[in-house]
Structure formats: structure tokens, C-alpha cells
Chains A and B, each alone.
Chain A
Amino acid sequence: MELKKNEVIWLIIFIAPTIALFFLFFLLPILFLFVTSFTNWNGINAEFVGFENYVKLFSKKTFIRSITNNLYWCITAAFITVPLALIIALLLSHKSRGWKVFRTILFIPQVVSSAAIALMWLALFNAEYGLVNSLLDTMGFSEYKNHNWLGAIRTANVALIGFSLCYVGYFMVIMLAKTTGISQEYYDAANIDGASQFQKDMYITAPLIKSTFFLCIILAVIFNLRQFEYVFLMTAGGPANKTSVLVVYIWNELSVQRLGRGNAAGVIMIAIGAFLLIVLRKLFKSETYN
């Protein structure tokens, strides 16, 4: 629509609040993050120190450990959570009795806050009264009777991954929605040829939602890079920093006022995110647009 003269001012008024907030909480912080990462800023004074923060970070075991833990979360999500979500999406796409109810239930963990989920699983993993240990005990694994899952180096990461599986619902819903767009003709043709349900899932539905599957992998990787609440509340990065992730590392730098170094870690985190995003998009590009 052609704007009348006096309407241009309204257009500006309509855009202004969003631009202002976007500048204040997206552009400015990123710029600020980048600039202060080259200083020894402690909240009061800041001096330019060049690449010192970056050099220091990469010489810290805990920092490297945090990056590898983040990547471990990303890889688990991409290779376990999303494929499982695909299987469930394929199965629910048959639209058998009650599929909508199952879809809703599987999605519920996604709308519950990470803090509540973390506290809940903290209780489930509790050594004294936790459900996990009682279940294992009942099943005959009595050596786990009083095992402190999250406190033991050997099992802390396994336990964190185990709980993260309750998040399949999100990816499942996205892929399931994609299946509803598939034309019925494919299935009619397959029925004439006498294809079984498994064959239809395997050779018709799955290939047709491939692009959404790849999209889910990208989303899973991005989400897991941002990981904070679970680790912070369930293990606080422990035992012995074995489960720390990048945001927990940044948080700890903030709490000792090493703001410049914390921001350098933030820059590295954004760089890793951008790198993974570009690589994954390249990797999936030929698949996505066919």
C-alpha cells in the first residue's frame, strides 16, 4: 500500500520500539562482548590486554572440558535424540487411535521450565530416595542401591544424557507436522503395490521429511550449545568440573569478576555456534533443496 505523507511518521513509530530493544539487547551486547573480551575488565577498570584472555582460556583444562562437554551434548542430541524423535514421528504419523494425546504428552517436558525439570530429575537421581536407584534395585542391580549418579565422575554425564531424552517431543512434533503435508497419493500407490506399513514409513515418509530431520539436527545443536540450567542446577559443573559447559564457565567467571575473560569465553561460544551452523547448513544444503 502506498503510504500517505503523514503516515511515514507512523511507520517509524511502529518500527521504533522493536529496533530500540533489538539494538539494546542484541546488537549492543554482542559488540560489547567482543570489545571487552580484549580487556582485563573487572567491573570497574578495564585495560587493553590483546589476546591474553583467549590464550589463558585455551590453557585452562576446565574450559576445554566445557567445550567438549557442550559438543558431547550436541552430538548426543543429533545422533540419539533427533533420530529417536524421527522414529516416534513416523509411528505417530499412522494416526492410530490416540495419536494426538500421545503427541501432547510427549511435548509436555518442553513447556515445563528447565529449572523445574532439573529439580525433578535431581530428585529422581537422589541417592537416598531417588526413583532411579530404587528401580535398579528392584531389577536386581543392587550395586546401584545408594549410587550417587550425579556426584560420581563415571556416571554424571551418562545421567545428564539419560534425562535429556525426555525432550524428544519437541523434534517429534516438528517432524510429525511435516508428515501431514505428504500427499495421500504416494500411500495409495504403495498400497496397490502391496507395501507394508514398515515399507511405507521407511521408503516414503522418511525420505520425504528428510529436510525437516536435518533442520531438527541444526536446532538440537544450537539448543545444546546454550545449555545452562540443567548442568548448573543438577551438578553445578561438578564433580571436579567434569560436567561443566560453556555458559556455566562464563557464569563462574562472572561470579569472580573476571568479566573480560568471561566475555572472551562468550565470543568463543558464539563463534562455535556460527561455525557449527555454517558447517551443518553446507552439509545439508544439497539435501534440503531437492
Chain B
Amino acid sequence: MQRDLSTNFYSIIKWIIIISFVFYAIFPFLWLVLASLKTNAELLDDPFKLPKVFQFKNYTDAIEAAGLGRLIINSLVISTSATFLNILFSSMVAFAIARHTFWGRNVLFLTISAGILVPLNALIIPYFAIINYLNLYDTRTGLILVYCAIGLPVSTFILTEFFKSIPKEIEEAAYLDGCNFVSRYFRIMLPLALPGLATAGTFQFILCWNEFIYAMLLTSSTDIRTIQFGISYFTNQFFSDYVGMFAAVVVSILPSITVFILFQEKVISGLTAGSVKG
């Protein structure tokens, strides 16, 4: 009897803790969505109350007036190109490391992996100088290169571990049949490694889409600007269209949440594969 009581008590505590943290994580987003559908007057009047009429106009306004459409297209172009290049390069080097022995292989892998631990934000001034030196300041190419590069350590780590876990037999058979290096990579490794590529690609896409400091550092014109840097303009103190800002923030959040929900098992498996090893 005593037993059941304490078990029940623990169970109640458990649900209180879980529900309150879930609430803490999700409630601000729900409030934001709700607030983005109000008028400014309604928002200032009472932050809790439901809007009389849902103001979907806030969204169309944000997309037209604040040039949100342009920002989204920029972010999409930059994120997808950087993700494509990043996955191409890191899968190539991972193929070389995971399947072949050559001089300096372990040093190469350890050095690239150690890049995960470098606090890159300490390097903003050198990055600024290098991109300027390459004449890539305020270009999409500059941002694509930087995003591709900063994600290389994580992608290379995930893909090398993944490639190593794929049995070698198929590839060895192909090798004996005279299949060359490049077709072993394209025809055998890549198709077998699709789940791994999806994991690394999801990580990389979310990284690119969410990146802020380099977008602010390396671009200046509105034509190039990405959405994360774009929405920060709404914090300007003279800006009083709060609901417009909320609508823009909601729009900026949607793609990464969508990608995460679609590929959540990949994200979680990649996270644990990478970090459990330490």
C-alpha cells in the first residue's frame, strides 16, 4: 500500500515536471503566433486576449513591405548551395578516410574533427579580412563558402563514422570487377550512405538557415541579406510595428522547424552518434 502511494506520488511529480518544461519550450512560440495575428492596438491592450479578427494581413504586409520575400529567397539560395557543397566535399573526404589507407590519414581526420571545438566566433575579424581579401565581401559566394567551410568538421565527422559502419564487401567485389575510384564513390558508397547524407545534410541546412553573425559581418546590401539578419532590423527602436515583426519572425522560423519535424529521427541519431563518442 505504502509502495503504491510513493509510486503514484513520483508519477505525479514526473508529469508536472515534463508538462511544465514542454510548456516552457512551446508556449512562447504559440504566444508569438497568436500575437502575430493581432493588431498593434490589441497587442498593447492585453497580451493574453485572443484577437477579434485574425490579422493575416500582417503576414502579407511583412512579405511585401519589409521585403521578406527577397530575404527568404536569399536564405534559400545560400543555404541550399552551401549544404550541397558541404555534403559533396565532406562525403568525398569521408570516403577517402573511411575506405583507404594513406599517409597522414588519422592526423587529417583528427585535425578536421577538432575543428568542431574551435570557437569560431572568436575569428570574426580574420574572417572579415579574408573575405575582403578574396573580394567576396557582400556577395552570396562569400557567404556560401563560409557556411560550407564552418560545417565541414561536423559533416566530415558524421559521414566518416557512417561510411565506416557500412560493410565493405560490396565495394570490394566491385573493386575486383575493375570498378574505379570515382565510380566506387558515386555508384556504391553514395547510394548506400543516403541515410547518413540526410543526417549530415539536415544538420548543415539548419546551421546555414539559422546563421546570424557571419551574415551580419560579411554582407551589407539588401539584395544579398539573409532572413536571420533581415529580421534583426525589426529591433530598431524607432520601429513600432510589433505585429509585423512577429509575423516576420514566425516566417523565419517555419523552414527550420519543418525540416526538423520531417527529419527528426535523422537529427537525433546524428546528434547522438556524434556526441556519444565524445
List residues of chain A with CB under 8 Å of any chain B CB: 1, 3-4, 7, 10-11, 14-15, 17-19, 21-22, 24-26, 28-30, 32-33, 36, 84, 87-88, 91-92, 94, 96, 102-109, 111-116, 119-124, 128-131, 134, 165-166, 168-170, 173-174, 177-178, 196-198, 211-212, 215, 219, 222, 225-226, 228-229, 233, 246-247, 250-251, 253-254, 259, 262-263, 265-267, 269-270, 273, 277, 288
Which chain B residues border A109 with CB–CB below 8 Å?
Answer: 25
Query: Is the pair B275, A174 in contact by a Cβ cutoff of 8 Å?
Result: yes
Which of B14, B108, B235, B256 touches A113 (beta carbons < 8 Å)?
A: B256
A107 CB to nearest chain B CB (Å):
7
1/0 contact string of B31-42 vs chain A (CB within 8 Å): 110010000000
Which of B25, B128, B276 touches A254 (beta carbons < 8 Å)?
A: B128
Query: Is the pair B232, A233 in contact by a Cβ cutoff of 8 Å?
Result: yes
Query: Is the pair B10, A11 in contact by a Cβ cutoff of 8 Å?
Result: no
Query: Is the pair A123, B93 in contact by a Cβ cutoff of 8 Å?
Result: no
CA A1 to CA B189, docked complex, whole Å? 14
B68 at the A interface (CB under 8 A): no
User: Known: A11-B100, A25-B149, A104-B261. Contact between A33 and B122, CB under 8 A?
Assistant: yes
Known: A14-B185, A33-B123, A178-B276. 13 other contacts (CB 8 A): A3-B100, A11-B96, A17-B92, A21-B152, A91-B18, A96-B14, A111-B210, A113-B212, A113-B256, A212-B276, A247-B213, A251-B124, A266-B126
1/0 contact string of B259-278 vs chain A (CB within 8 Å): 11100100110011001101
Query: Is the pair B93, A15 in contact by a Cβ cutoff of 8 Å?
Result: yes
1/0 contact string of B173-216 vs chain A (CB within 8 Å): 00100001110010000000000000000000010011111000
User: Known: A15-B108, A18-B152, A116-B252. Contact between A26 and B28, CB under 8 A?
Assistant: no
Which chain A residues border B95 with CB–CB below 8 Å?
Answer: 14
Which chain A residues border B46 with CB–CB below 8 Å?
Answer: 134
B121 at the A interface (CB under 8 A): yes
Query: Is the pair A22, B115 in contact by a Cβ cutoff of 8 Å?
Result: yes
Q: Chain A: which residue is nearest B38 at the CB level?
A: A129
Query: Is the pair A33, B278 in contact by a Cβ cutoff of 8 Å?
Result: no
A contact patch SS: helix
CA A32 to CA B127, docked complex, whole Å? 10
A-B contact pairs, 16 of them (CB 8 A): A14-B96, A17-B92, A18-B93, A24-B149, A25-B149, A84-B21, A108-B25, A112-B257, A113-B212, A114-B210, A115-B212, A115-B232, A124-B28, A173-B272, A247-B124, A277-B117
1/0 contact string of B137-157 vs chain A (CB within 8 Å): 000000001101110110010
